[in-house]
Amino acid sequence: MPAVRVPSVTVAHLPDDVHLVDVREVDEWAAGHAPGAQHLPMSQLAGRLTEVPRDREVVVVCRSGHRSAHVVAYLRHLGWHNVHNLDGGMQEWAAASRPMVAEGGGPPQVL
């Protein structure tokens, strides 16, 4: 089966009002994530589909953009037309000096 291209957006072109869904696992999220992002681990996605908005633009993020691309392809297959992948994931987010927070108050980092 050929690779499916998923719509994506770069950190530099990320709209301010977009709904960001972080699909990384709990330890990755706790180490550092975008303020205001929704945490929805990829491993829990199938059972929590109703939590993914259909009425606004959604950008899905992981560490590098690989897992989130799979999630976007899956959601599009299921009928979500408002989802995009964040190119480069949280690594690019951090490289662009975008704000990050960590659980527990320590310095945020991308795992």
Cα Rg of the chain, angstroms: 13
Q: Which residues make Cβ contacts (< 8 Å) with residue 97, sequence separation at least 6?
A: none
Res. 46: pLDDT tops 90 = yes
Catalytic residues: 62
Rounded to two decimals, the pTM is 0.93
**Contact (Cβ atoms closer than 8 angstroms) between residue 40 and residue 23:** yes
Mean pLDDT of 47-52: 97
Quote the pLDDT of residue 1. 37
Find out whether 78 and 89 touch, Cβ atoms under 8 Å: no
Q: For residue range 62-110, what is the model confidence (pLDDT) as tens digits?
A: 999 999 999 999 999 999 999 999 999 999 999 999 999 999 878 999 9
Tell me, what amino acid is at 19?
Answer: H
- pLDDT of residue 3 exceeding 70, the answer is no
- What token pair was written down for 64? 């590098």
